Amino acid sequence: MDEMAVEFLHELNVPFLKVASLDANNFPYLEKAAKKGRPMVVSSGMQSMETMRKVYQTIKQHNQNFTILQCTSAYPLDAEDVNLRVITEYQKEFPDIPIGYSGHETGIYISVAAVAMGAKVVERHVTLDKTWKGNDHSASLEPAELAELVRSIRLVETAMGTGIKQMLPCEIPCHAKLGKSVVAKVKIPKGTVLTLDMLTVKAAEPMGVRAEDLFQLVGKSVKEDIDEDESVVPEAKPEVRNSTDAEVEESRITLPGRAAGSTAPLTFSFTIQHRCAHVRLLSTEFFFFSFWVVSFTDIKMPLKFELCPGRMIGGSNPCFIIAEIGQNHQGDIEIAKKMIKTAKDCGADCAKFQKSELEHKFNKKALERPYTSKHSWGKTYGEHKRHLEFSHEQYRELQKYAEEVGIFFTASGMDEMAVEFLHELNVPFFKVGSGDTNNFPYLEKTAKKGRPMVVSSGMQSMETMRRVYQTVKEHNQNFAILQCTSAYPLEAEDVNLRVIAEYQKEFPDIPIGYSGHESGISISVAAVALGAKVIERHVTLDKTWKGSDHEASLEPAELAELVRSIRLVERAMGTGIKQMLPCEKPCHDKLGKSVVAKVKIPKGTVLTLDMLTVKVAEPMGVRAEDIFQLVGKSVTDDIDEDESVVPEVVDSYGKKAKC
């Protein structure tokens, strides 16, 4: 905390020197500390961005290894004075050094949010007992909190991921169980040339051609009979009608990848025409190669919009928090009502369910398959799902109850008929589950309803999400996309929070959010720090209940803590303007450093740097950062050794020189 202490610590061979906020504007001190050659960590409480630029330049002249921490010097620190956005501003101003955060707030989630924003150093005061005598204890973490902070930071670091959006191995079980594919809407005889009205998309057994490739089948003929409600599998995939050279230019691709048993590369000729990729198979085995051509228009969508009556999302509006009840109600409407009330009491904005018209969501074989899981409510998957499905009348009852409680009510329409019912029910917005995100006929029909949409993106690639964006955009201006990984529960290493930033770059004119299936709340809080404007989390009354979603859900106390922490972090984001705040004045008045006479200085003396030092002084003198401005000026009164050099005794201090 002073130059002699730095000398001692250097002699002690500490690994790095920490510069506290009150010395950040003490430039002689900074220069001497930097010249020691040890790495430095510099806090920036009570300082302006202009001062921090000078700090950076001063240290950089002598030392390349240092970091700057955003800090607000108040104890304890209120969330509205944290100003986390300064981290981003520092990253822009000083791109060649790590940026960190030194926090004096209560709790851990603001510090966790700082890590999500890129903080590479986090500093927190610690204590064994917050009730002990001393100003810092109330702003400190006790051992259990410190341990939870470390655990949460490591969790969020793991959860950041690569930012590459693609289906992950952990999503395969969900995709195999609920992923949708193309099914015959009617009986299709061998040789039939397919039209769109012959086909639909369902969760089917066995899985057929991918839902997103539905349009590519139009105009092709089938090689064998396909029964109504039967999967359209690649083996019975339509042959391609020939295109003439006059119709469209043809390109040829040789793929190094091989189908099982093949001894030669697979070779394809393809043409792109309208929304259909025509593939001529030239080898004896089938390999499905998909294409998509889109024409982006100049239509711009709002970055914010009204998701529910009177409730905007995006922009500077609060994060919209969805309590995903789904089917965690056990098929009991009274439990469902209790969960709606709990969601409201915990502060969530919306209680959401999952509505299916089962014969439209699944094909017959999928409903008839045995289901022997410990989570099963029936011998077959159909019996299981029917137990959990509420009737239309029950949905109306739940909607009315939600209105009475005072919380928004909606559901994911898990098939086109469910969407029709929800539209009739007049829900404020449609939620598109990840299983339907690549179901483009469904997306188009849903978008045309004109209601706002929230679209999850589990099991999808960035290429698919670009298509989703364009498909919805053609018909609906008001929608958001959520980063999601479809695994229950979700491990931190599969979360991939950096996709949020990639979505923000890819789709800058819509709000981006996060739908999480991980344990705990830290990762969801981190998503908000990264700019998520919608958070969706599954909720339950008891994680031990039967059902595969319960383990990945939040119990009431966790949901309440999530809401509280999100609102805390939102308040902590601040403006990004780095300046001394009113809350820092008490600390500055008590511990702020100023210029002091190192020796007795007679009246009329012209000041030199070796006559001056910087200390915590009474009364406060010339600001520490202005010490160099005093050199060459004369004093108008005697100044005793160790006495403050106040502005009044320095001739022309603070005055601009006349030209």
User: For the residues 68-81, what does the mean pLDDT come to?
Assistant: 96
Q: For residue 654, count other CB atoms closer than 10 A to its CB.
A: 9
- Give the pLDDT of residue 607: 96
| 233 class by beta-carbon count within 10 Å (0-12 exposed, 13-18 middle, 19+ buried) | middle
- 652 band by pLDDT with thresholds 50, 70 and 90: confident
281-295, 387-401, 600-614: the lowest-pLDDT one:
281-295
Task: Please determine, for residue 654, whether its predicted confidence score (pLDDT) is greater than 70.
Answer: no
Return d(Cα 20, Cα 340) in angstroms, integer: 48
Number of C-alpha atoms within 13 angstroms, CB side, residue 423? 16
Which tens digits make up the pLDDT trace of 467-522? 999 999 999 999 999 999 999 999 999 999 999 999 999 999 999 999 999 999 99
Residue 274: φ, ψ to 5°: 55, -125
Token pair, residue 499, equals 């996709």
595 Cβ neighbours under 8 A, 6+ residues apart: 612, 613, 614, 617, 621, 622, 623, 624, 626, 627, 630, 644, 645
Inter-residue contact 91 to 118 (CB < 8 Å)? yes
Closest CA to 170 of 483, 547, 498, 495: 495
Which tens digits make up the pLDDT trace of 222-276? 999 999 999 999 875 444 333 333 333 333 222 233 333 333 333 323 232 332 2
Which tens digits make up the pLDDT trace of 9-38? 999 999 999 999 999 999 999 999 999 999
- Give the pLDDT of residue 281: 26
Tell me the one-letter amino acid at 375: H
208-212, 247-251, 279-283, 650-654: the lowest-pLDDT one:
279-283
User: For the residues 431-446, what does the mean pLDDT come to?
Assistant: 97
- At residue 644, the 3 state secondary structure works out as strand
Closest CA to 168 of 602, 459, 442, 440: 459
- Give the pLDDT of residue 234: 85
User: For the residues 572-583, what does the mean pLDDT come to?
Assistant: 96
User: For the residues 434-440, what does the mean pLDDT come to?
Assistant: 97
User: For the residues 117-135, what does the mean pLDDT come to?
Assistant: 96
Three-state helix/strand/coil letters over 54-72: HHHHHHHCCCCCEEEEEEC
175 Cβ neighbours under 8 A, 6+ residues apart: 167, 459, 486
Which tens digits make up the pLDDT trace of 194-211? 999 999 999 999 999 999
User: For the residues 361-374, what does the mean pLDDT come to?
Assistant: 93
For residue 171, give the DSSP letter: G
User: For the residues 129-155, what does the mean pLDDT come to?
Assistant: 96
Q: Which long-range contacts (CB under 8 A, 24 or more apart) does 194-202 make?
A: 194/218, 194/219, 194/220, 194/221, 194/222, 194/238, 196/441, 199/232, 200/441, 201/439, 201/441, 201/442, 202/360, 202/361, 202/362, 202/363, 202/366, 202/415
Residue 615: strand pairing partners: 594
Q: What is the mean pLDDT of the chain?
A: 89
For the chain, helix, strand, coil in percent to 5 are 35, 20, 45
Domains, in order of start, for the chain: 3-159 (3.20.20.70), 305-572 (3.20.20.70), 592-649 (3.90.1210.10)
User: For the residues 104-120, what does the mean pLDDT come to?
Assistant: 97
Which tens digits make up the pLDDT trace of 167-192? 999 999 999 988 999 999 999 999 99
Which pTM value belongs to this model? Answer: 0.86
151 Cβ neighbours under 8 A, 6+ residues apart: none
More confident residue, 618 or 236: 618
